[in-house]
Chain A
Amino acid sequence: MNDLTPYTTIIGLEVHVQLSTRSKLFCRCENRYGAEPNTLTCPVCAGLPGALPVMNRKAYELSVRAALGLHCEIPLFTKWDRKNYFYADLPKGFQTSQFDLPLSQHGYLDISDPKGKFSDKRIGIIRAHLEEDAGKSLHDEVARKADSRIDLNRCGTPLLEIVSEPDLRSPEEAGRYLSELKLLLEYLEVSDCNMQEGSLRVDANINLHLRVDGEFKATPIVEVKNMNSFRAVQRALAYEASRQYDQWQESGRCLGDPGVTKETRGWDDDAGVSRSQRSKEESSDYRYFPEPDLPPVVITEAEVATHRLALGELPAALRTRLVQEYQLPEVDVDVLVNQGRALVEYFLLLAGAINDGKIASNWIQQDVMRYLSEAGVTIDDYPVTADQLGDLIANVLAKKLSTSRGREVLAQMVSAGETLEAAMQSLGIVEVDSAATEQLCRELLEANPKVVADIKEGKIKAVGALVGQAKQQNPNVQPQEVRDLCLRLAGEM
């Protein structure tokens, strides 16, 4: 609750991420997006009579890895359960999931906003569990009476469901939680987290806490679905919060009132509204029971420790280290780390090559990242290696190139795929020796007695005109060198 809103927004997120295994969770069909409908199925994933599941070891291991990245406890015994419900894209009539003994629980994810919109915060993770994905129903939007078409390719894709505590207090916090979660899972290489391809999906539970005449009130919890981007999640939550407030003012209905059930609403991003989805009367009776076809999995403390050791450096720790080791501002570190592990590795190489983190960070943020975003590629596809860029920056630092000339050289290296030397040659950059520079300065001083007089009077700024003229006459001169030389020679005159 603050001055702007008379309520506190309470948000918990359920995130489903597809795990990057080669094959599906219970069969050996390929786990791949974008294939022709129904070409990646078999008796097991299509739920044919008599077929049985066998758990993919890699899917379990990736789940444990992700859970450890989220600081979860890993119980030494876990099992799977059947969640029974009927749906056309669920060919077995149940989803094999985890109910009372998930493979991980009680974790957290720290979020912070370097721009200071909210203070640092620890978001609790209730649990992360491993389950199978369903297929897809392709509804005919034009004629609602027509058949639905069913594609079962996605059936049996391994999903990690990550359930947060209702610790989020604003759409901004939810957005930051999601981007931090996505980043973590990418660092851990457990999922590609591609939202367009549905490998990361978000459902949000949201309600409002209010205080009316000193009395605590809570609005009914609503589950919001169908949000296809992090931006859509934030828009939907903002919309839902104000919608709930309006509705509460109108109806006064509270959580726990007779007849109040959990409502599911679908977000329509184009229209910018959420709409109530048909609620099934018995929708919550999933009749969970232990999956008889799958033996449970046990893990030892030693195995958990091995998984923990193999996690590598994760975003939060990396940020702290970069701030400490390179004296970079938090905002800059945030930008670098959020680009993913590959870009951070590029940064580390570059900073090492030129022995300066700040300069490396500037070049990456100003030049490299701009190119990446304009070209729509990742650092893996960037044509200039960290070593090559390091050589270029070394030339700039040695004042052999001006910064702006250096940028032109880098652009040439990127666009033409040229080496540093070739790019400099293409741009006609040759080193001007000091004798030639001195000769040029003398000529300019003699041709501009007014400037010399100004300098002698202490109007140092006047030298700028000479630097400009020098660059016009020979673009390869070092502006700094020209400036220094002119000032010295004018003093001697």
Chain B
Amino acid sequence: MAIVDYTATELLERMDSRELTSREITAAYLAQIERYHGEVNALVRWDAEDAMRTAEAIDARREGGEPVGVLAGVPVVVKDNLCTSDHVTSCASKMLANYLSPYDATVIKRLKAADAVILGKGNMDEFAMGASTETSAFGPTHNPWKLGYIPGGSSGGSAAAVASAMAPLSLGSDTGGSIRQPSAHCGVVGLKPTYGRVSRYGLIAFGSSLDCIGPMGRTAEDVARVMSVLAGRDPRDATSIAGPVPRYEESCREPLDGVRLGVIDEQFGEGIDDEVADKVQTAIRQFEALGATVHHISLPHIRYAIAAYYIIAPSEASSNLARFDGAHYGYRAKDISNDEKDGPLVAMYRKTRQEGFGEEVKRRIMLGTYSLSAGYYDAYYLRALKIRRLIAQDFADAYKTVDFLIGPVTPTPAFEIGEKMEDPLAMYLGDSYTVGANLAGLPALSLPCGLTTAGLPVAVQLQGPALSEEGLLQLACAFQQESDWHLSRPELIKPKDQNG
């Protein structure tokens, strides 16, 4: 087996037993990046020298018998909206193309403290606004399973990097499905934690009350390992949750016992692709075979989730992105006309934001500005916040009778690049099954469960009550022990010469 075929857990075991060094591992993944970058465009930047230096230093420490962190020597790709102090953090936007953060995001600090090797920055939809990684200022990411198709988004680069074996692990962020949907489209495991379980400090904000950082990997166990490193209260994030953090990688191997799964009836109705529905139903039967009982659950307000989400998220975004105005950092437009009636400063703001932001970002800023503006606040924003509570209440009611919910992640498999670029609403509807968890702040996991006849991955979504990440990972782990979808690899990266 090649180095890049091992899971993170296997890599850690082999480094522990001195079969492999982080140097060898890091070099293997860097080679993979070099080889497939042109076709996949999963990363917006990486620093091979820096990664190799880090790997060697960790090897030396391990060699010298010094204590090392729980991810010591394992390469990780991080989404480009996570601030890193040593390289540019751009959010895949022209606005921040040269921006150097003076500090590391808390999750980056935690990865570094765990001795992970940060390889580079994952491509993404600009400012995480999108479901296809097509809105990146650095060009779209291609789905490793089928290069003409989108990898999903907004964490498309992080998902594609794992799927194309450019890294065993990655971090994404999920505001309306941005970890789970690309994980589903790229056939990897992605976990959106409970809101606040992982600090947002240093995550460039999109929708602050919805944003979550989470891990992506090939197996639930790998994802669990990263989750143990990321989770926990951060004094710099007032919305982060206090309380003990489990050793997820240990608890996820516990056998399932009397789990009650709720199938959300509303999610198998109109709009779902037959093949997706079929694969998800098969997965549900597999869980039954593992001893779970299946129950039908209705979430009466979930059909309003997209509408509520596309008020709340853009509203918060319109405020969060106001800071990108060319004054203190980032892009500033040149040749400011001095004759505008509002004066040169305002002229600078307007031109900077016109040129620095892409179409989708401007669309959402406009939508959010409108929803919050005088005369519309009550009808849009305030109403959406009330419906948000009704949706959260639906989930709370459901979890009185079942332990977890199960259903599809997306209505359809990945679509072709360019297909929905001119129809924002069609793109937004792709988030139908994922936004509920963000509105309610609850954890959810995307688990690969099949391939379509066209060879595109399909995934099942597991959702749970607040702080039920352990249970979600346990379910996913049990499923993966009885199936091998997670072992299949895109044709693109299968060794061709040897088996030819």
CA A293 – CA B236 in complex, angstroms? 11
**Nearest chain B CB to A245 CB, angstrom units:** 32
The reply to whether A49 and B96 contact each other, CB–CB distance below 8 Å, is yes
Which listed segment binds B: A82-90, A208-216, A340-348?
A82-90
Q: How far is it, in angstroms, between the C-alpha of A293 and the C-alpha of B203 when the chains are bound?
A: 12
With CB as the reference atom, state the residue of chain A lying closest to B205.
A50
Please name all residues of chain B whose beta carbon is closer than 8 Å to the beta carbon of A48 when the two chains form the complex.
101-103, 329
Known: A54-B235, A150-B328. A47 touches B323 (CB 8 A): yes
Interface string of A274-293 (1 = CB under 8 A from B): 00000010001101111011
B439 CB to nearest chain A CB (Å): 13
The 7 closest A-B pairs by CB, nearest first: A93-B322, A287-B372, A292-B209, A292-B208, A50-B202, A49-B204, A50-B83
Tell me, rounded to whole Å, the shortest Cβ–Cβ distance linking A153 to chain B: 13
Inter-chain CA distance A145–B339, complex, in Å, is 12
User: Contact check: which of B96, B319, B342 meets A289 at CB < 8 Å?
Assistant: B319
- Say yes or no for A295: interface residue by CB 8 A criterion: yes
B373 CB within 8 Å of chain A: yes
Residue of A nearest to B370 (CB): A287
B346 on the A face (CB < 8 A): yes
Query: Residue among A47, A52, A92, A288 with the most chain B CB within 10 A?
Result: A52
In the complex the two chains form, is A52's CB within 8 Å of B236's CB? yes
Which residue of B99, B327, B385 is within 8 Å of A91 (Cβ)? B327
**B125 lies within 8 A of chain A by Cβ:** no
List 14 other contacts, CB 8 Å, given A50-B203, A288-B372, A288-B377: A48-B102, A49-B205, A50-B101, A50-B105, A50-B201, A52-B239, A54-B235, A82-B319, A91-B327, A92-B323, A285-B373, A287-B319, A289-B381, A292-B209
Residues of A within 8 A of B141 (CB): none
Chain A residues in 8 Å Cβ range of B346? 86
Q: A43 contacts the other chain (Cβ, under 8 Å)?
A: yes
* Max count, chain B CB within 10 A of own CB: residue among A43, A47, A48: A48
CB contacts (< 8 Å) of B373 on chain A: these are: 285, 287
Q: A48-B101, A92-B323 are in contact. Are A148 and B345 (CB under 8 A)?
A: yes
Within 8 A of B (CB), among A1-47: 43, 46-47
Q: What are 30 A-to-B residue pairs whose CB atoms are below 8 Å?
A: A48-B102, A49-B91, A49-B205, A50-B105, A50-B200, A50-B203, A51-B103, A51-B202, A52-B237, A54-B236, A86-B322, A88-B327, A92-B323, A93-B321, A93-B325, A145-B338, A148-B345, A287-B318, A287-B369, A287-B372, A287-B374, A288-B377, A289-B315, A289-B316, A289-B319, A290-B385, A292-B209, A292-B239, A293-B239, A295-B239
Bound-state Cα–Cα, A93 to B373, Å: 15
Flag if A92 contacts B322 (CB, 8 Å): yes
- A94 to B381 CA separation, bound complex (whole angstroms): 18
Taken together as a complex, chains A and B put the C-alpha atoms of A293 and B105 apart, in Å, by 16
Cβ-based interface call for B349 (8 A): yes
Contacting residue for B372 out of A51, A86, A280, A289, CB 8 A: A289
Interface size class of A (residues with CB under 8 A): 20 to 34
Interface of B is mostly: loop
- Complex Cα spacing A51 to B345, Å: 25
**A53 is an interface residue with CB less than 8 A from chain B:** yes
By a CB distance below 8 angstroms, the chain A residues around B322 are 84, 86, 92-94
Residues of A near any B CB (own CB < 8 A): 43, 46-55, 82, 84, 86, 88, 91-94, 145, 148, 150, 152, 280, 284-285, 287-290, 292-295
CA separation between A117 and B319, bound complex, in Å?
49
B89 CB within 8 Å of chain A: yes
Determine the main DSSP class of A at the interface with B: loop
Distance of A295 Cα from B196 Cα, bound (Å): 12
B238 at the A/B interface (Cβ < 8 Å)? Answer: yes
Interchain CA distance A284-B373 in the complex, whole Å: 10
Task: Indicate if the CB atoms of A293 and B238 lie closer than 8 Å.
Answer: yes
B residues in contact with A91, CB < 8 Å:
323, 327-328
Query: Taking CB as reference atom, which chain B residue is nearest A83?
Result: B319
Point out the residue from B103, B325, B349 that lies within 8 Å of A43, measured CB to CB: B103
Task: Tell me whether B342 and A280 are in contact (CB under 8 A).
Answer: yes
> What's the minimum C-beta distance from B101 to chain A, rounded to whole angstroms?
7
Query: Is the CB–CB distance between A55 and B238 below 8 Å?
Result: yes
Chain A residue nearest to B385 (CB atoms) is A290
In angstroms, Cα B377 to Cα A390, docked, is 66
Q: How far is the CA of A70 from the CA of B99 in the complex (A)?
A: 47
Set of chain A residues within 8 Å of B91, measured between Cβ atoms: 49
| B interface size (C-beta, 8 A) | 47
Chain B residues, Cβ within 8 Å of A46: 328
The 8 A CB mask of B341-352 against A (1 = contact, 0 = none) is: 010011001000
Give the residues in chain A near B315, CB-CB below 8 Å: 289
**A379 CB to closest chain B CB, in angstroms?**
41
For A285, the closest partner residue in chain B by CB is B374
Q: How far is the CA of A16 from the CA of B59 in the complex (A)?
A: 57
- Complex CA distance for A440 and B429, rounded to whole angstroms: 113
Complex contacts, B82 vs chain A, CB 8 Å: 50
B218 to chain A, nearest CB (A): 28
Query: Chain B's nearest CB lies how many Å from the CB of A37?
Result: 13
Residues of A within 8 A of B329 (CB): 48
Judging by beta carbons under 8 Å apart, are B319 and A49 in contact?
A: no
Residues from 57 to 88 in B contacting A, C-beta threshold 8 Å = 82-83
Report B205-239 CB contacts with A as 1/0, cut-off 8 Å.
10111000000000000000000000000011111
In the bound complex, CA of A55 to CA of B239 (Å): 11
Chain B residues, Cβ within 8 Å of A288: 372, 377
Output the least CB separation between A101 and chain B (Å): 14
Q: Are B345 and A93 in contact (CB under 8 A)?
A: no
Q: List residues of chain B with CB within 8 A of the CB of A287.
A: 318-319, 369, 372-374, 377
Most buried by B among A93, A280, A294: A93
Q: 1/0 per residue B234-251: CB within 8 Å of A? A: 011111000000000000
- CB of A257 to closest CB in B, whole Å: 21
In the complex, chain A residues whose CB is within 8 Å of the CB of B323: 47, 49, 91-93
- A427 CB to closest chain B CB (Å) equals 63
Q: How far is the CB of B265 from chain A (nearest CB, A)?
A: 32
CB distance from B87 to the nearest CB of A (A): 14
State the CA gap A150–B326 with chains docked (Å). Answer: 13
Shortest beta-carbon distance, B103 to chain A, in Å?
6
With beta carbons under 8 angstroms apart, the residue of A52, A55, A93, A94 that contacts B200 is: A52
The CA-CA distance from A86 to B318 in the complex, in Å, is: 12
Contact B372 A47 (CB under 8 A): no
Which residue on A lies nearest to B235, using beta carbons?
A54
- Do B238 and A49 touch across chains, with their CB atoms under 8 A apart? no
B105: A residues at CB distance < 8 A: 50
CA distance A48 to B330 in the complex (A): 10
Question: Which of A150, A285, A294 interacts with B327 by CB under 8 Å?
Answer: A150
Roughly how many angstroms separate A285 CA and B373 CA in the complex, as a whole number?
6
Q: A281 — nearest CB in chain B belongs to which residue?
A: B342
* Residues of B close to A43: CB separation below 8 A: 101-103
Q: Once the chains are docked, how many angstroms separate the CA of A276 from the CA of B91?
A: 42
Q: How far is the CA of A86 from the CA of B327 in the complex (A)?
A: 10
- Tell me the smallest distance from the CB of A329 to a CB of chain B, in Å: 53
Name the residue in B89, B322, B342, B373 with the highest tally of chain A Cβ atoms < 10 Å from its Cβ. Answer: B322
Partner pick for B89 among A49, A94, A150, CB 8 A cutoff:
A49
Q: How far is the CB of A211 from chain B (nearest CB, A)?
A: 34
Q: Which of B105, B205, B318, B319 has the most CB of A within 10 A?
A: B319
Interfacial chain B residues near A290, Cβ < 8 Å: 385
Distance to closest chain B CB from A288 (angstroms): 8
How close is A158's CB to chain B, nearest CB, in angstroms?
16
Q: In whole angstroms, how far apart are the Cα atoms of A455 and B446 in the complex?
A: 116
The 0/1 profile, CB within 8 Å of A marked 1, for residues 29-56 of chain B is 0000000000000000000000000000
Smallest Cβ distance from A346 to chain B, in angstroms? 43
B:298-336 near A, CB below 8 Å: 315-316, 318-319, 321-323, 325, 327-329
Give the complex CA separation of A164 and B82 in angstroms.
Answer: 44
Bound CA–CA A205/B358 (angstroms): 42
**Within the complex, which residue of B204, B316, B328, B349 is in contact with A50, where a contact is CB–CB below 8 Å?**
B204
